Amino acid sequence: MLLIQGWHVTAHFVPLTTFASSAEWSEFLSDIAGYMSRLFAILKHTTLQLSILTDEAGDELRKLMDEVQNYDLLLCDADV
């Protein structure tokens, strides 16, 4: 299934749903953390006023994504 999302076409998408368990939330976060951490690092240096960039809850979520990304990278290094 291909979706057109704004300016690009993608075969992969992230459904925004309610998670039935913390394991589902952890898997979802692990899947998106690397990309989102890099994206937020770039956006933090713009003039955009997004709540994820400016409020305390957004700061906590960004920190969590950074931690998950770093943990995933450590696991990848351990597998080598």
Q: Does 50 map to a domain?
A: yes
Q: Does 27 map to a domain?
A: yes
Tokens 């989102």 belong to: 36
* DSSP at 39: H
Q: In this structure, are residues 53 and 44 in contact, taking their beta carbons and an 8 Å threshold?
A: yes
Over the stretch 30-68, which tens digit does the pLDDT of each residue have? 888 888 888 888 888 888 877 778 888 888 888 888 888
* DSSP at 21: S
> Average model confidence (pLDDT) for the chain?
75
What pLDDT score does 4 carry? 45
Q: Does 64 map to a domain?
A: yes
Q: Structural domain tally of the chain?
A: 1
| Domain span holding position 35 | 23-79
Q: Does 55 map to a domain?
A: yes
- What does the alpha-carbon distance between residue 77 and residue 71 come to, in Å, rounded to a whole number? 10
